[in-house]
């Protein structure tokens, strides 16, 4: 499974856009990129998943360049409740998924 | 539609005792996964089960740990003769049969403290 690297922590203020970049240099052709969010004392929650270019849902956008060696999770106009740990995962798009979590990015949103 | 349920939420055991952690997947989900999270670390995969079958237990310690997902009832993660190093948060996740298993639904976790 491809190893991912992301910043340990990020700080932001309410109303700002936050972009968290993840590098996955060894991503395989059939790998997808998935992001999870985890609040303190809770289990992770699926946010978004993509293969290439751009994916958008009601929560976030995911930008993936053509070489797919990195990806950027974009959170528009964050609020205090977006304070959480964000995990970038890379795994095959089909079949059994053994999700591999790194240490994630700890996002702190301040007033 | 209730989410993944885990109980107990907190469990305290003395060294040498047994810990039994329960997980009820979301309705209609037949795939269950167990993960362990140590403080300040990401989750580590332990085992993947379907009803009455262990599909992959490559992340389970070889001794003292076992898991089951019977035909009826919740999935159980059992830790025998617990040691202090077993203290962690244990998360269960589920996904539907034939669904996108990268999209797993996690429960709130059971926090095990071994004294």
pLDDT value at A110 more than 70? yes
Picking from A75, A101, A22, A26, the residue whose alpha carbon sits closest to that of residue B46 is: A101
pLDDT value at A1 more than 70? no
Q: Which residues of A touch B103 (CB under 8 A)?
A: 34, 46, 49
pLDDT digits (tens, 9 = 90+) for B98-114: 656 567 899 999 999 99
Which B positions 27-66 lie with beta carbon below 8 A of chain A? 33, 35, 40-45, 48, 55-56, 58-59
Give the DSSP letter string of B52-101.
TEEEE-TTS-SSSEEEE--SSS-EEEEE-S--GGG-EEEEEEEEETTS-T
pLDDT given for residue B1 in this prediction: 54
pLDDT digits (tens, 9 = 90+) for A35-85: 999 998 899 999 999 999 999 999 999 999 999 999 999 999 999 999 999
pLDDT given for residue A25 in this prediction: 93
Question: d(Cα B51, Cα B72) in Å, to the nearest integer?
Answer: 8
Contact A99 B45 (CB under 8 A): yes
* Separation in Å, CA of B103 to nearest CA in chain A: 6
pLDDT given for residue A15 in this prediction: 96
pLDDT given for residue B42 in this prediction: 86
Contact B101 A96 (CB under 8 A): yes
Mean pLDDT of chain A: 92
The pLDDT > 70 percentage for chain A reads 95
Contact B45 A89 (CB under 8 A): no
Low-confidence ranges of chain B (pLDDT < 50): none
pLDDT given for residue A91 in this prediction: 82
For residue A26, give Cα distances in angstroms to A31, A33, B4, B26: 10, 12, 33, 34
């Amino acid at each position: 499974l491809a190893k991912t690297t992301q910043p340990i922590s990020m700080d932001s203020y309410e109303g700002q856009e936050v972009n968290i970049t993840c590098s996955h240099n060894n991503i395989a052709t059939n790998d997808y990129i998935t992001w999870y969010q985890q609040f303190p004392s809770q289990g992770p929650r699926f946010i978004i998943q993509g293969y290439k270019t751009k994916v958008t849902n009601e929560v976030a956008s995911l930008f993936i360049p053509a070489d797919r060696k990195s990806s950027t999770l974009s959170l528009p106009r964050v609020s205090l409740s977006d304070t959480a740990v964000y995990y970038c995962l890379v795994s095959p798009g089909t079949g059994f998924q053994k999700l591999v979590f790194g240490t994630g990015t700890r996002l702190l949103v301040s007033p | 539609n209730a989410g993944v349920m885990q109980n107990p939420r907190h469990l305290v055991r003395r060294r040498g005792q047994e810990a039994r952690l329960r997980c009820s997947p979301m309705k209609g989900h037949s795939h269950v996964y167990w993960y362990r999270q140590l403080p300040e670390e990401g989750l580590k995969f332990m085992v993947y089960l379907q009803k009455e079958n262990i599909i992959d237990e490559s992340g389970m310690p070889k001794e003292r740990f076992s898991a089951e997902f019977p035909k009826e009832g919740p999935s159980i993660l059992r830790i025998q003769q617990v040691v202090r190093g077993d203290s962690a948060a244990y998360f269960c996740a589920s996904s539907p049969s034939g669904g996108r298993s990268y999209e797993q639904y996690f429960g709130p976790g059971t926090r095990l403290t071994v004294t």
